Amino acid sequence: MTPGRSCPLDYRTTPQEMARTPAPEGLRGLETLYVVGGLYGNLEALEALLAAFAAEPAARKALVFNGDFHWFDAEVDWFSEVQQRVLAHWATRGNVETEVAREQIGAAGCGCAYPDWVGDGTVDFSNRIIERLHAVLSPAQRQQLAALPAFLRAEVGGLPVGIVHGDADSLAGWGFCQEAMREAPMRAAARQACDAAGVQLFASSHSCLPVLQALGEGRWLANNGAAGMPNVQGNPCGLFTRVATTQAPRALAQVPLNAVGARSPLHLALCPIAFDFAAWRRRFDTRWPPGSDAERSYGQRIRLGPAYQVGQVLRQR
């Protein structure tokens, strides 16, 4: 097993397992659902996100952090604040939480299961970041993370939603990444996974670039990219997925969604998180100065965004 390249066996999930798993009572009959992947310890983005959620007028609303809410927060106080505020809501494990919850960092390294197109340098940086992060957890924090589920099911206005970190088959799967969604067989596989899981929408994250992809026959994939990092060139905002009975007031991409059995169309959107960018940069730079692993791996993206265009996000076919 190559650290950072492989999927541990305990990452395996199946859509059939999701089909057998009911939505918890608190995630049923919702009017508004936020799914937030890849916060990466960004407390400023968390602050802005929680304010947006609090301002939602719906009586039945829920916020799910679907993994990798920790990453850059490799300091005791910083980590504790993220964990406390995130775990006040629903959460699933990402590969980051799964790996730092172990007694020792295992053979999976960061657990990212990076595909071949991601260079060895990035993989090495990630393996070293996870070791720094692992060192700040208390045993109680480790247990809290280990107890989180690998996926959740929710229901919004009659729409069944599958919430995963990677894809339907693995916590760190890349089957729902924007590159995969360019391939018709991968879209067909994602549609089949929807049917096998008994959901009409999968909400995922992990691969760090957003895509709102029609899968055919009313099925959709919403990959929010990252809540805590820029997602498209020239825009510093993080993103989250919003499914609701009302339109999102601000969205990078938004589509109407007809749920089978729903009385009226729902609205599926990738919404921006505009936060205090300067304060976040200061926090990041203090912990990860020039030359550090995280700065060398992520500094350019945090400053300039990825080489990914806003026009690539929404794919109606």
- Tell the smallest beta-carbon distance from residue 32 to Fe ion (Å): 25
224 is a site residue for Fe ion (CB under 5 A)? no
- Tell the smallest beta-carbon distance from residue 281 to Fe ion (Å): 23
Number of residues that bind Fe ion (CB under 5 A): 4
Interface of this chain with Fe ion, residues 295 to 314, rule: CB under 5 A: none
Assign residue 89 a region (left: φ > 0; alpha: ψ between -120 and 50; beta: otherwise): beta
Which of 114, 199, 218, 121 is closest to 155 using CA atoms?
Answer: 199
Name the token pair of 178. 């924007």
- Tell the smallest beta-carbon distance from residue 228 to Fe ion (Å): 12
String of contacts with Fe ion for each residue 75-114, x by CB under 5 A: -------------------xx-------------------
Rank residues 213 and 224 by Cβ distance to Fe ion and give the closer one. 224
Question: Of these, 70, 134, 187, 206, which contacts Fe ion (CB under 5 A)?
Answer: 206
- Tell the smallest beta-carbon distance from residue 207 to Fe ion (Å): 8
- Where do the H-state alpha helices sit in the chain? 15-20, 43-55, 76-86, 95-100, 120-134, 139-146, 184-197, 277-287, 293-304
String of contacts with Fe ion for each residue 152-191, x by CB under 5 A: ----------------------------------------
* Cα radius of gyration rounded to whole Å, the chain: 18
Query: Coil, strand or helix: which one is 107?
Result: coil
Name the token pair of 273. 């998180």
Rank residues 228 and 299 by Cβ distance to Fe ion and give the closer one. 228
- Binding segment for Fe ion (CB under 5 A), chosen from 62-70, 138-146, 187-195, 272-280, is 62-70
Rank residues 148 and 266 by Cβ distance to Fe ion and give the closer one. 148
Question: Of these, 31, 44, 56, 68, which contacts Fe ion (CB under 5 A)?
Answer: 68
- Tell the smallest beta-carbon distance from residue 173 to Fe ion (Å): 10
- Binding segment for Fe ion (CB under 5 A), chosen from 139-147, 176-184, 198-206, 268-276, is 198-206
- Rounded to whole angstroms, how far apart are CA atoms 167 and 12? 10
Assign residue 56 a region (left: φ > 0; alpha: ψ between -120 and 50; beta: otherwise): beta
- Tell the smallest beta-carbon distance from residue 96 to Fe ion (Å): 6
Question: At 127, phi and psi to the nearest 5?
Answer: -65, -35
Pairing of strands 90-92, 61-66: parallel
CA 82 to chain centre: 15
CB-based burial label for 202 (10 Å; 0-12, 13-18, 19+): buried
Per CB under 5 A, residues contacting Fe ion are 68, 94-95, 206
